[in-house]
C-alpha cells in the first residue's frame, strides 16, 4: 500500500517534468524574513533556470513548528515578487506532506537501517564528554556516539529515529559506495568542483547516525529535502555553501531511497562587514527593511555583487 503510494507519486511527477531539463527550487524556512543571502540565492537560481528555459519552484520548509510564524509565508512571497523572482506553479508546504516523509522513513526501516533513540541533547553531550569517547562535530553538530544503536527500543513517545550510518553504507555495497558521487558546479567552500565522491569514513565517523525524525516525530531536514527534491522533479539545486557538507548525506539517502540526484551548485555566502554570515535575526539586512528604507531591487542586486 505504502509502496504504491510512494512510486505512484514520483512516477506522476517524472511524467509531468518530461522535456523540462532544468528545474531548480528556492526552499526557505518561514521562520524569519528573507535577507540579502536569500536574495542572492534566489536571484542566481532563478536566472539560471530562466536562461535554461526551465522552471523555478518555491518550497516552504516549514516543518519546525516551534519556529515557523504564519506571517513569514506571505512576507517571503512578497519579497521574492518584489525582487523579480517568479516561481512556477503552486507553493509547496512541507507541513502538508508528512505522509510522504513517513513513507520514506518506513522504506529505510524496512531495510533495517533505522533505530529508535531516546537520547536528549544533554545525554549526547554527556556521553561524548566521557574520556573514552571521541568528540567530533559533523554537519548536524555533535556526532552521535551511538548510545541507542543496538538497544532495540520499542516505539514510544520521545523517540527520535536515526539512520544507522555504518549499516547504510554496508547496505549500499560498502567499498563500492566509493563510486557514489554528486556533481558540484560550485566551487564548493574549499574549491570543490566536478564529480565529488562520497567519503565513507567521513560519513560513518564524521557525520554519524543522523536524525531522520525528531523526538516529537517531526521529519528531519535531510529526509524531507531529498524526498521533496525528487517529488518536485528538481534537476538543479542552487543553495549556500553552508549546505555543501550536508550534500553527501543527501546523496546517500537518495541512493537508499532510489531517488534521482540533482546537480548541485553551492554558492558563496553573503556576509556582513565583520565577515559573519547573515542570519534571520539580522533584521538590518532583511529585504523588507531595506525596501522600507527605499532600496530598489537593483540596489539589492548591487549589494550582493550582481549589479
For ligand GLU, which is the closer residue by CB, 27 or 255?
27
Q: Which helix (H) or strand (E) holds 23?
A: strand 23-26
Instruction: Find the shortest distance in angstroms from Cβ 143 to ligand GLU.
Output: 21
Task: Report H helices in 18-67.
Answer: 36-51
Is residue 26 within 8 Å of residue 59, measured between CB atoms? Answer: yes
For ligand GLU, which is the closer residue by CB, 168 or 225?
225
Task: Give the interface with ligand GLU as residue ranges (CB under 6 A).
Answer: 27-29, 61, 225, 239, 243
Is residue 224 within 8 Å of residue 101, measured between CB atoms? Answer: yes
Instruction: Find the shortest distance in angstroms from Cβ 27 to ligand GLU.
Output: 4
For ligand GLU, which is the closer residue by CB, 117 or 286?
286
Instruction: Find the shortest distance in angstroms from Cβ 247 to ligand GLU.
Output: 9
Question: Which strands form 236-240's sheet, in the order they lie side by side?
Answer: 194-197, 181-184, 263-267, 236-240
Cα–Cα separations (whole angstroms), residue 295 to 34, 289, 290, 304: 15, 9, 5, 13
Instruction: Find the shortest distance in angstroms from Cβ 193 to ligand GLU.
Output: 19
Task: Report H helices in 195-240.
Answer: 200-201, 221-231
For ligand GLU, which is the closer residue by CB, 55 or 239?
239
Instruction: Find the shortest distance in angstroms from Cβ 47 to ligand GLU.
Output: 17
Q: Which residues pair with 23 in a beta bridge?
A: 55
Instruction: Find the shortest distance in angstroms from Cβ 237 to ligand GLU.
Output: 6
Among 137, 170, 148, which Cα is nearest to 252's? 170
For ligand GLU, which is the closer residue by CB, 159 or 266?
266
Alpha-carbon distance of 226 to 240, in angstroms, equals 16
For ligand GLU, which is the closer residue by CB, 57 or 225?
225
Amino acid at each position: 500500500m505504502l509502496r504504491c503510494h510512494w512510486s505512484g507519486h514520483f512516477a506522476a511527477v517524472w511524467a509531468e517534468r518530461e522535456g523540462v531539463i532544468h528545474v531548480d527550487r528556492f526552499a526557505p524556512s518561514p521562520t524569519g524574513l528573507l535577507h540579502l543571502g536569500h536574495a542572492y540565492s534566489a536571484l542566481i537560481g532563478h536566472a539560471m533556470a530562466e536562461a535554461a528555459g526551465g522552471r523555478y519552484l518555491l518550497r516552504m520548509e516549514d516543518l519546525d513548528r516551534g519556529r515557523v510564524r504564519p506571517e513569514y509565508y506571505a512576507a517571503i512571497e512578497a519579497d521574492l515578487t518584489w525582487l523579480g523572482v517568479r516561481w512556477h506553479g503552486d507553493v509547496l508546504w512541507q507541513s502538508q506532506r508528512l505522509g510522504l516523509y513517513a513513507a520514506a522513513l518506513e522504506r529505510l526501516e524496512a531495510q533495517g537501517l533505522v533505530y529508535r533513540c531516546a537520547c536528549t541533547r544533554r545525554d549526547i553531550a554527556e556521553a561524548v564528554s566521557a574520556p573514552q569517547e571521541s568528540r567530533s562535530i559533523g554537519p548536524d553538530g555533535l556526532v552521535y556516539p551511538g548510545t541507542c544503536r543496538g538497544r532495540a527500543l520499542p516505539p514510544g513517545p520521545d523517540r527520535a529515529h536515526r539512520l544507522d550510518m555504518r549499516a547504510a553504507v554496508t547496505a549500499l555495497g560498502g567499498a563500492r559506495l566509493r563510486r557514489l558521487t554528486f556533481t558540484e558546479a560550485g566551487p564548493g567552500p574549499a574549491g570543490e568542483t566536478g564529480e565529488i565522491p562520497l567519503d565513507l569514513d567521513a560519513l560513518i565517523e564524521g557525520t554519524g547516525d543522523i536524525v531522520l525524525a525528531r523526538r516529537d516525530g517531526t521529519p528531519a531536514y535531510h529526509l524531507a529535502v531529498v524526498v521533496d527534491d525528487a517529488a518536485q522533479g528538481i534537476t538543479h539545486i542552487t543553495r549556500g555553501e553552508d549546505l555543501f557538507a550536508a550534500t553527501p548525506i543527501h546523496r546517500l539517502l537518495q541512493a537508499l531511497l532510489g531517488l534521482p540526484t540533482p546537480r548541485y551548485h553551492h554558492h558563496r555566502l553573503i556576509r556582513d562587514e565583520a565577515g559573519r554570515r547573515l542570519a534571520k535575526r539580522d533584521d538590518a539586512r532583511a529585504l523588507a527593511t531595506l525596501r522600507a528604507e527605499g532600496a530598489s531591487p537593483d540596489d539589492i542586486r548591487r549589494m550582493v555583487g550582481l549589479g
